[in-house]
Copies of this chain bind each other. A is one copy, B any other.
Amino acid sequence: MTQPDNRPFAIRTYAPDQLREALKRMYLIRRFEEGAEDSYMRGLIHGTMHLSIGQEASAMASCMELTDDDKITSTHRGHGHCIAKGAEVGRMFAEFFGKETGYCHGRGGSMHIADVKTGNLGANGIVGGGLPIAVGAALSAKRLGKSDVTICFFGDGANNEGAFHEALNMASVWKLPVVFICENNGYGMSTSIARSTSVKHIADRAVAYSMPGVTVDGNDFSAVAEAVHHAVARARAGEGPSLVENLTYRWRGHSKSDRNRYRTKEEIEEWMTRDPIARFRAELIAHGVLDEASADAIEAAAIADMEAGIEFAKASPAPSISDVTRYVYAEN
């Protein structure tokens, strides 16, 4: 008789290379957000941005089993998803800097960042906007006879949009291969779940769509990976959609205009002790996937990528003003 494998799900499921790559991408998300913030402070980026620092495990662990043919739809807080799904930070920075080399050729910026080639159908400036779109992508996969799944990221705030209801209902009725991942960071802008939402956990709403719903610690890489693994498997097997709720927290304000009058310093600090990257790193080390030195090297590599990305972006050309109406319609 073999011993039961008591190691965390991720450790026993993914190859060490995959795990190291996941850690790298989580560092990359963190450093990318910091680089973006810094660039914003220095006036290199205009507009606003929504940073996902603190939510890296949710983004990365949700994408572990996706190929470039699988799709995601993302949100206004979408940098992490984009990196987790495989985008290059150079082209992402270029987009933030409004450059022609950016993923959207400088037309989209932070809120519309997408990388269709790696299956990222895009961030969305409209809360809830991606929900029906994800269902549509799943419909395509089903009708075209592909085994692709779509992962739909959305926030706790988004779950009160009518689009949430309509999307989950249709996905369920048509048994589509889509996984709804609610990144519940406790607030939609300044409004807490308790003040906006008539259930304690978003996953409690899954019964209204006859789909499995599960709430996990969103800062625990392995917990997220395991929940999403089952949901993705279910989707690929043609058994329909699932709802996974990742409980997490954003360390920064909602956006650059946030004066943080709705949550306490204590609450923020408490959550910072639950840093998903530090936890994952420690877990990998504890299970012998890494040692401290190689973990440091991974972190350093992420920093180097980030810095190279910023340089690439800075050096890139801006779009020509005469092209302001380019890309409105297909060119023929």
Contact = CB atoms under 8 A, between A and B. Distances in A.
A1 to B, nearest CB: 42
A187 interface: no
A163 B161 CA distance: 9
B208 A195 contact: no
B173 A169 contact: no
Question: Sorted from nearest, which 9 A-B pairs have the closest CB atoms?
Answer: A162-B162, A165-B165, A172-B198, A208-B208, A205-B208, A198-B209, A198-B210, A169-B198, A162-B166
A168 interface: yes
Interface string A173-213: 10000000000000000000001111100001101111100
Interface in A204-224: 204-205, 207-211
Interface residues of A, number: 23
A142 to B, nearest CB: 16
Contact of A169 (B168, B197, B207): B197
A164 interface: yes
A160 interface: yes
B209 A195 contact: no
A172 B198 CA distance: 6
Contact of A198 (B160, B162, B199, B208): B208
11 contacts: A161-B162, A161-B166, A164-B165, A165-B166, A169-B197, A173-B197, A173-B198, A199-B208, A199-B210, A204-B207, A205-B208
